[in-house]
Amino acid sequence: APSQTAAKARGLLFGVAVGDALGAAFEGAHSVDGERLAQQERAATQLRYTDDTALTLVLARHLVDRQHPVPVDEDALALELAREWQREPWRGYGMGSREIFERVLRGTPWRKASEDCFGGEGSYGNGGAMRVAPIALVGTSPAHVTELAARSAVITHSHLHGQRGAMLQACAAFLALNSDGGKPLDKAAFLSQLSRAVEHTDWRSHLDQVHALVDTASPAFAAERLGNDAAAPTSVPLAVLAFLQHPDQPAEAIRYAIRAGGDTDTIASMAGALAAARTGVQELPTAWLDRLENAEHVGELADTLATRMAPSQ
C-alpha cells in the first residue's frame, strides 16, 4: 500500500482528473439533475479529461523536472504549456489561452502575449487556477505556495484576478493536503487561513460568502450566490465551498460541484483535488479511476511528486 503521503499526492492529482473528466459532459449546463449525473457515473465508457488535466499534468511534469529552490521557470513552462495545447488542441481550451499559446509558439514573449489578451486587460479566466494543484506538493508554506502559484498563472493570466484565483486554489490544496484526515476539518479556521493568504478585499469577501453558505446551501443556490462560470472570481470560491460541504468524501464534493452547473469540469476538478488531497486517493470511487484515461501516467507523476513533499507534511 502507498504511504499516506503518496496516497494524498495521488488523491490530489486523481481528484483533478476525475473531477474534470466527469464534469466535462456538463460544461456550460445551467444546472445538472442528479439522474443525468448518475447515468454518467454508471456508464462504462472511458473518462476523458480536458484542458484542465492536460495542463495540470504539464505543470506536474515541470515540477518533477526542476529542483528547489526555484521549481517554476516561467519561460520554460510557457513553452511546455503551449506545446501541450498544440499537441492536443481538441481538449477544449479557453479563447484567451489558445491565442496566447499560438503567439508563444510563433516567438512572441509570453509576457507580451499574456498582457495583450482581452484587449490589453489580460485574462481573469480560471485557467491559472485549474492547473495549479501540483504546486501544493512542492510548496513549503502558504506564502511559498501562493508565490509559486502566481508565477505559474501569470504566463496566461496577466489580470491579477486570474493569478489570485490560482493563489487561492493552490493555498487551499496545500492546507487540504496538510490537514489531518483523521480529525474533522475546522472549516472556519480553514477559511481564515485562506483569507490571510489571498490578501485582497474582493477575495476575502468571496470567502466570507463561502462561510455563510457552508453546511446549508444547495448546489443551485451556491451557484447563484458565488457564480459558476469560467472567470476565476466566480468559480474558485464555489470549488472551495464544494470541498467544504464534503471534505471527507471527494466523490460527494465532485457531485456537488457538477450539480451547481456552469463550468462543471473545472469546478469539479478543483473541488476533487482539494477533497482527495485531504482524504487520500482511496476515497475516490475505483469505478471512476478504472475508467480514467492515462491513469498510469497520472499515478506515476503523483508518486514522484510525493517524494518532493517536505517530511513535516
- Interface with ligand F2R (CB under 6 A), residue from 118, 144, 147, 193: 118
- Interface with ligand F2R (CB under 6 A), residue from 5, 40, 50, 228: 50
Q: Is the dihedral of CA 236, 313, 277, 76 positive or negative?
A: positive
Binding segment for Mg ion (CB under 5 A), chosen from 86-94, 186-194, 276-284, 288-296, is: 86-94
- Interface with Mg ion (CB under 5 A), residue from 15, 127, 227, 261: 127
Best CA proximity match to 131, nearest among 148, 116, 108: 148
In the bound complex, what is the minimum distance in angstroms from residue 284's beta carbon to ligand F2R? 20
Residue 231 interface partner, choices ligand F2R, Mg ion, none, CB cut-off 5-8 Å depending on type: ligand F2R
Residue type, 309: M
Coil, strand, or helix at residue 292? strand
Site string for Mg ion, 264-283 (x = CB under 5 A): -xx-----------------
Best CA proximity match to 300, nearest among 85, 48, 35, 17: 17
Binding segment for Mg ion (CB under 5 A), chosen from 196-204, 231-239, 260-268, 299-307, is: 260-268
Residue 121 interface partner, choices Mg ion, ligand F2R, none, CB cut-off 5-8 Å depending on type: ligand F2R
Cis check: omega of the bond before 134, within 30 degrees of 0: no
Coil, strand, or helix at residue 70? coil
- Interface with ligand F2R (CB under 6 A), residue from 33, 74, 88, 121: 121
Residue 84 interface partner, choices ligand F2R, Mg ion, none, CB cut-off 5-8 Å depending on type: none
Measured from the CB atom, is 19 or 94 closer to Mg ion? 94
C-alpha torsion angle, residues 185, 187, 190, 194 (rounded to 10): 150
Interface ranges with ligand F2R (CB under 6 A): 27, 50-52, 92-97, 118, 121, 123-127, 130, 159, 230-231, 263, 265-266
Which residues sit at the interface with Mg ion, rule CB under 5 A?
50-52, 92-94, 97, 127, 263, 265-266
